[in-house]
Amino acid sequence: MTPGRFWDGPECKRAFDVVVASLGLLVLWPLLLMGWVAATASTGENGWFVQQRVGRGGRPFDVYKLRTMRSSPNGGSFVTVRGDARITPVGAWLRAWKLDELPQLVNVVKGDMSFVGPRPDVPGFADALEGDAREILTVRPGITSPATLKYRDEEEILARRSDPETYNADVIFPDKVRMNVAYVRTRTLAGDLRIILDTLRGCGSGAR
């Protein structure tokens, strides 16, 4: 194996994920604990939010997040817009700084996810992928991705639409699929590091 293939291979990517996620949990557990307390107090429910997503190979797994929204009696929509009444003030702050995603470090250590990869979708979206789009399911889903960066203001974009769910299904979701397929075909470790850095630089942008 050539050096380039090693550094960009799945073994190196997985080793990077495990080491960095483990260190992150070791250092950030007090912040996670405080986030859980704040999320629990603001929503009146358990601050840990667990939701089934579709992962590599089409296998379902439980993704972990900090709860940022109050539960809706009728379940509500999977599409969230800026100003959604279900989002608590604490939740809005957690979402702006991406702190609600921190529990996904556990998913990374477990092997459900990677730092960089297509965001995992709920059943009903990932299951509908056809043709080349199925390539997305050949890799671990990620905490961030090129599509995540492009649509970091997705909630604001959807809030400006009269029918957010239709716009998401007809415009945003297909564009994300295209970008995710392109990522899967061209991913490198150096590219992943740039995506991670760009994600960190953008944290808090929704709070300004």
Condensed to tens digits (0 to 9), the pLDDT of residues 69-97 reads: 998 766 556 678 777 889 999 999 999 89
> Mean pLDDT, to the nearest integer, of 177-193?
95
Given a contact cutoff of 8 angstroms between Cβ atoms, the answer to whether 157 and 150 are in contact is no
pLDDT of residue 32: 96
Question: CA torsion angle for 120, 61, 67, 169 (degrees, to 10)?
Answer: 30
Count how many domains the chain has.
1
pLDDT tens-digit profile of 105-161?
A: 999 999 999 999 999 998 887 778 899 999 999 999 999 999 999 999 999 999 999
With cut-offs at 50, 70 and 90, classify the pLDDT of residue 179. Answer: very high
| Threshold 0.85, pTM exceeds | yes
DSSP string covering 44-109 = SS-SEEEEEEE-GGG-EEEEEEE--BPPPTT---S---TT-TTB-HHHHHHHHTTGGGTTHHHHHH
Domain boundaries, position 149? 3-207
CA 21, 53, 14, 188 dihedral sign is negative
Q: What token pair was written down for 46?
A: 């358990």
Whose tokens are 């671990």? That residue is: 140
Say whether 161 sits in a helix, a strand or coil: coil
What's the mean per-residue pLDDT of the chain?
Answer: 90
